Structure 1
Amino acid sequence: MNGGLIMKEVTNSDPFTIVGTEQYNMVSKMNREYRIFVSKPSEKPPASGYPVIYLLDGNSIFGTVVEAIRIQSKRPEKTGIVPAIVVGIGYPTEAPFSPHRFYDYTMAQTDQEMPFKPDGKPWPKQGGASEFLSFIEEELKPKIHQTLKVDSNKQTIFGHSLGGLFVLYTLFTSPRSFQSYIAGSPSLHWNERNILAKERSFMARLEREAIHAKLLIGIGELEKEHKSNIGELAKKMSERLSFYKNRGLNVKFIQFEDECHTSVLPPLINKSLRFSLHSQVDQ
């Protein structure tokens, strides 16, 4: 007895699933295996198709993003968020992160060797960013477009930490692949010399031609205490890139109060949805 109520024992249970989602494994032309998570809105697609958000580290944040959109898109006139397809790019593991991300999200270390990990072991293999971007553009996107009605003019890529580094790599090397780029706590220190070289090439391109793209860089306030100086590096990059607004690049930098490198994810996701799914940049 508990407060006069009889508690009945649960005899069986079913796995919990998020409505409107599916997952499948996909092997790339380079023989790398990914787990793809897809969420399709229940609402009828607009004539132009649904917006789409591609998430890196899909194992860790797919559910959070899907539920945030599902709740907030019910009242788009209030929230500014419309229904959208969510595509999480993850790995065949039940863990939130896979060591394979070190290869997919990074450029080759050409100028220096990374220090050993705290446990004394070397880091996983790195340098596959170009291959990974080709997989997204040439294999994954066509599959998504074949099965779902996508608005090709409203595509977003979201990445955090090493994923944020890859988002910036994508913007600098393929700025027309997406219209919105979300780089959360980008690990610029990881490939600093290489990513800065890509940034300079991108700036030179902007001098020659205008593009239409939005970039949100978000960090946690507490990241200023990180030994990598990750917060300051991200802030300075956003300041440099903000100079090119007249060339079609709309840059926003946000520092989230009292958040660290990992806790910044939920508030960053909410801000990212308003940034990418609203017809106007949320100022």
Structure 2
Amino acid sequence: MKLLLLPVVLLLFCIEVNANTAYEIPRSAVIELKEQSSGRVYPLFIQLPASYAKQPDKVYPVIYLTDAHYSFPLVSGATRFPMNSGVMQQAIIVAVSYEQGSEGAGSRIRDYTPSKAKAWRQETGNASGHMAFIRDTVFPFVEQNYRASNTNRTFVGNSLGGLFGAYILFTEPALFTNYILGSPSVWFDNNKILAASVVKPKAATRVYISVGEYETPAYGEGQDMLAGAKQLTDKILALDSGNIDLRFSVVPSASHATAFPTTAIQGLDWIYGIKKQ
């Protein structure tokens, strides 16, 4: 009986020890950057590709994410196998988190919205300031400290993050080479983004817009995100710019809460996937 019980005891001991060890995303770090104009501090979550140390001369594309606490582990996990197995280009992942010490909702509502909406009790309308922080502080830090491309950057945002990405695309499109806009909150401030003036990209720009099939009031959503995404797509297509390559996708049977994981991996596969001939 003792020989039979011993493996069980050892197994229980191992489970107990491992349960107290936190899992960490490989090759990742968290750094903090201060926005000089406001004094706000924003954590950045950064993950380097698996080949980074072995290829010291290689410069990598960079995937920039909003809503870091949600998007960083999701995109890191979803791209791990495709990147490591050679069916997707390896890239550095950088996720910009919310202002340190703030509630996440307040920080994202302030920083991802392009206009000051009088009907909102929370502060809104700092998209231009947050875009400047990314352009003037985040980009220089990443590109000076890592082998990060300044000509192959991808923006990934969802919901208000998708609205923020649309604002950047319309205002300073050259900041990113590619845009993945998941379920963009076009409805914010009475669809004001649809009336915004647009700067046409001067360089080739890819735009991937995706939304869940069930993101409509008919399925219990507060806003018609499906209609908004289609209207945003139409606005971009109406630019008649030969530099924009746009793809619109509807995620089957997905709601606002569940569409983004598919949006992120399908959009990144469209941009960085290595297609077999």
The bucket for the TM-score relative to the shorter chain is 0.7 to 0.9
CA 1:47 to 1:24, structure 2 compared with 1: closer, same or farther past 3 Å?
Answer: closer
Tell me, yes or no, if the aligned pair for 2:99 and 2:107 is still in contact at 8 Å.
no
Match of 1:33 among 10, 24, 41: 41
1:76-225 matches, within 5 Å, as 76=86, 79=87, 81-91=88-98, 97-109=104-116, 113-114=118-119, 122=121, 124-198=122-196, 201-202=197-198, 205-206=199-200, 210-225=202-217
Check if 1:24 corresponds to 2:31: yes
Q: Please state how far the C-alpha of 1:274 moved relative to its aligned partner.
A: 0.8
Alpha-carbon distance in 1 for matches of 2:17, 2:27: 27
Instruction: Compare 177-186 and 187-196 and name the one that shifted more.
Output: 187-196
Report the secondary structure of 1:6's partner residue.
helix
Structure 1: any 5+ residue segments left out of the alignment?
116-121
Matched, 1:248 2:243: yes
Q: TM-score, normalised by structure 1?
A: 0.83
Report the RMSD for the aligned CA atoms in angstroms: 2.6
Mapped contact 2:215–2:223 kept (Cα < 8 A): no
Distance 1:245 1:216 in 2: 16
Residue in 1 that maps onto 2:76? 66
Please say if residues 163 and 185 of structure 2, whose CA atoms lie closer than 8 Å, have aligned partners that are also in contact: yes
Q: Which structure has more helix as a fraction of its residues?
A: 2
- Percent identical: 26
- Equivalent position SS for 1:37: strand
Contact 2:182 2:264 in 1 (8 A): no
Structure 2 residue runs of 5 or longer lacking an equivalent are none
Is residue 207–residue 244 contact of structure 2 (8 Å, CA) maintained in 1? yes
Count of residues in correspondence between the two structures: 261
Shift in CA distance, 92/102, structure 1 to aligned 2, threshold 3 Å: closer
Aligned: 1:42 with 2:57: no
CA distance in 2, matches of 1:232, 1:193: 11
> Can you list the C-alpha shifts for 1:169-224, whole angstroms capped at 9, x where unaligned?
000000100010111111111134531232xx21xx43xx7432111111000002
TM-score by length of 2: 0.85
Report the residue type matching 1:90 in the other structure. Answer: S
